[in-house]
Amino acid sequence: MLGAIAGDIVGSVFEGSGRKETDFPLFSSRSTFTDDTVLTIAVAAVLLEGGDYASALRRYGRRYPHRGYGASFHEWLYDDSLGAYNSWGNGSAMRVSPVGFSAKTIDEVLSEAQRSAAVTHNHPEGVRGAQATALAIFLARHGASKSELRRELSERFGYDLGRVVDEIRPGYAFDVSCQGSVPESIICFLDSPNLEGAIRLAVSLGGDADTMACIAGGIAEAFYGGVPDVIEAEVRNRLPEDLFDIVDRFRARFFEHQ
């Protein structure tokens, strides 16, 4: 999931900026982790330690407030009485990458992605976005080609993945819905030459940059076989020790020993 976190940190500077180019500093003094990273690590903690997703999301979210949580999620975060609120937003997809790295079968990917989403994002589009992202990671881990990924995700989820980034970019605008950002994030990965390229392409659409780069970065990590050392070092320097402890333990169990 380090690729997802890297995408979040890189994109944090550009969220809502409308930037439409790939040539920009990958990291700066303002680059930081947002809610995407906090909630991704919360999902990873459940897969490592057990427990339920709602409790973990609330625990980590409250530990790291003011990280850009959406209004509905923020209300849910601080009110234990609230259940899922039928969201179709891309928050379900931004936090799901650990499921794609940990699951052993396609059925497990789909069911666990649904579980991780449904505590907040129980709208069919919210669930679909999480499942598509997690399945892309799972298939990439297991050697699927880009053409195989494109075909499987298109047929299973009905996403239009026949486009390319250069066609999408001119008319693309900020969109936090799963249906309006997850397919585009997947296409950024499909068009990329490497992990850094996937992140740059996602930012270049000029939309919800941190979340789209988070989604594209997670898939790219799985497909390209890891995260470059220089990017990992930048991420490590920006994460608190307790968060990176989860990253390290997750990678040791589910990624590095495969």
What CATH number has the domain bearing residue 205? Answer: 1.10.4080.10
Return all residues near 240 (Cβ < 8 A) that are at least 6 apart.
Answer: none
Give the residue from 88, 94, 35, 23 showing the smallest Cα distance to 63.
Answer: 35
210, 11 in Cβ contact below 8 A?
Answer: yes
* Number of domains observed in the structure of the chain: 1
Q: Which two tokens stand for residue 250?
A: 């997750």
Distance CA 16, CA 104 (A): 36
* 3-class secondary structure, 177: strand
- Residue 214: pLDDT over 70: yes
In this prediction, residues 46-64 reach a mean pLDDT of: 97
- Residue 256: pLDDT over 70: no
Q: 3 pLDDT band (50/70/90 cuts)?
A: very high
Give the residue from 163, 167, 138 showing the smallest Cα distance to 152.
Answer: 138
Q: What is the mean pLDDT of the chain?
A: 96
Q: What is the pLDDT of residues 4-18, one digit of tens each?
A: 999 999 999 998 888
- Residue 22: pLDDT over 90: yes
- Residue 254: pLDDT over 90: no
In this prediction, residues 40-60 reach a mean pLDDT of: 97
For residue 76, the one-letter residue type is W
Q: What crossing angle do the helices spanning 209-224 and 2-11 adopt, rounded to 10°?
A: 150
Q: 1 pLDDT band (50/70/90 cuts)?
A: confident
- Residue 257: pLDDT over 50: no
pTM of the model: 0.96
Domain that holds residue 25: 2-254
In this prediction, residues 49-75 reach a mean pLDDT of: 96
Higher pLDDT, 18 or 35: 35
Q: Which two tokens stand for residue 167?
A: 């066609």
